[in-house]
Structure 1
C-alpha cells in the first residue's frame, strides 16, 4: 500500500482504524514557521468522532503527539512526524467481514489484492479514521498559508436533497471564511443545518445512511501557481482529495453545470480593478485557467457517497463457501460522513496549495 503524496511538500499517512496509532510524516516544510498548537487542536476537534448525533458514537480525543520536526513550536526544516493514539476500538464488531465483505466497502477488493492479509478491523487502512492525520497535516499547512494571506474554508453544500446557500465565487467575505473554518458542520445559511440534520436522522432511524457535497474555497492565491496538462491545480487538489474515503466526485468552478451553457454564458470577462489588477467579473473557471491560478477565489465541490456500512440486512457472498448470504453489519458508523468530511476537504486543499506554491517558487 502506498499512502505517500507530493513532491515538494510530501506527506505519508500510516496506521489503521484499530492499530495502536495512526499518523503522518510531513517532509519539505519550510523551517522557521511557528505552529499555534491551539489552532491545530481546533481543526482536529472539527473532525473528531462522537460529538454529534450525525456522527459515529465512537469517541476518540484525537490528540496529536509530535515526535519530531517541531522545536519550541517552530518547524525545524526536518520531517515533521505526528501520531494519534487509537483509544476506543471494538474489533469484535468486524469478525466475519474478512470472508463476508460489506457491500460497497473495500473488504472484497482488499481480500483479492492483498491475499486476505489486510487488516479488516474498522476498515484498517481504508478507514475514514485515516482522515485524522490528514487534518493534522492540513492544520499545519493552513497556518503557513495564512501568513501569506491565503485563507481556506468550506461548508456542507448539501445533504441528500437539502442544499445550503453556495459561496459567491467572485467575492467571499473573510469573516465568513473565518467562521466556517472554525465550525463543526459548517453551513452558510444557518437554518439549512437543521433541515440537513432531519435528513440524517431519518436515515439513521431507518438503519441507513445518506450522502452529500462539500464546497471549498481558497482565497488570496497569487496568479501563476500550477502548470498545464498533468500538473495543474485541478490535478493536484483532486489527487489528494480522492484520498478521502467516500469521496466519489469533484468539480471546479461551474463544473458540470457549465457543460449545459454556451461559451458566452460561461466565459469570465476580464477587467482592471481600482488597483490596476486583472480580475474577472464572473468566476465560472473557479479561479483556474489552463491549470494555473488566475488570482480569483479557487472554488471546487466534492461529492460524498452514503456511508457504506449500514445496519440494514444486505446481500453479500461468503468467500469461503461460494454462497450468497445475508449480512447485518455491527459497529459504530456515521449515518452521514459529510459534516466531518468538510474539514478533511479543507485539509487536502491546504496541503495541495502549499505544494503548488512550493513547486512554483511562490512559497
Structure 2
C-alpha cells in the first residue's frame, strides 16, 4: 500500500518514516511538508544518508486523497482542516495531533485555545488507544491517535478501572518526559543550558492532556472525578515515566493486583507486566512500541502505585499510529513494529 506522512520533518514524522520505510506491507512512503517542500529528506536528517532518496513534497490534497493511508503528524490546529478534506475519500487517516481527541468542542477551545473541529468530524474520529478500542479501530476510517501522556496513564489505569478496584476520585499522576516531546523547533525551555542537569515542572494544572485522560476514564466509569496531573521535563531525549497513585475501594495485596494485570494484558503484544518487585525504566523501552508496567500496593495508606513507561515517540506517537494502521487494514498488529529496545 502507499502511505503519506504530512509533517514528515518533525520528530513524530521521522519516527513514522523509520517504521513505515521498512514495513512489510508498505510499498511507498511519501513525505509532505508545508515548510520544507522540495528539500531532500536526508538534508533534514543526515542519519538517513544512503537509506533515503525521498524529496519532501508540498501538501497536495488531491494526491493525498488517493493514497491508501495518510498520517497527519502536524501541530494541533492544522490537522482539523486537513482531516475534513480527506474524510470520505479513498485514504484512511490517522491524526497524531490533539485536534480530534476531545469530543466536547468547548473543552477543546478551553484547553487548546483555538476553534474546535466540526462536530461531525469529531464524531467520526475513533480514539486510537489500540489495546482498549481495537474493534472500533478496525472499522474506522479516521483515528485520533492518543497523546503520549494519556497512553502511558490510561494503560496503567485500565485494569483497575475495568475491575472497579479504585476510588475514581483519588487519582494522582506524576509524569516525566524527555525533550523530544517538545518537538524539533528550538525554544528557551528546550535549550541545552536550560535543561541539562535540571528538572522542571511545567503546565501545572494546565496540561492539554488532562481532559483527554479524564474523558476516557469517564467512559470506563461515569463516576470518575477530576485527576491531579503534573508533568516534568527531564534532560533526556526519549521516554515517559508516569507514576500513578490511587486509593483502593477495598484492601488488596500486590500479589493479587499483579495477577489482575497479567490476566488483563495477557494476550497484548506490546504490554509487558514486569515481575513483582521489579520496576521499569525508560531506557528499557527506548525505540520500541512497548509499554512496561509495574504495580505495588501499600497497606499502610491503602494506595496502589502504578509505574508505566513508554517511548514517547513510538508507543506515545508513531508506533501506536502504525499499530492502529495495521488494525485498520486487517494486518498482523505487530507488523513493522518488531524492534528490540535500544540499550544502553
Q: Please, what TM-score do these two structures have when normalized by structure 1?
A: 0.26
Bigger Rg, structure 1 or 2: 1
Of structures 1 and 2, the one with the larger relative CO (CA 8 A, separation 6+) is: 1
Q: Between Structure 1 and Structure 2, which shows a larger proportion of helix residues?
A: 2
Q: Please, what TM-score do these two structures have when normalized by structure 2?
A: 0.27
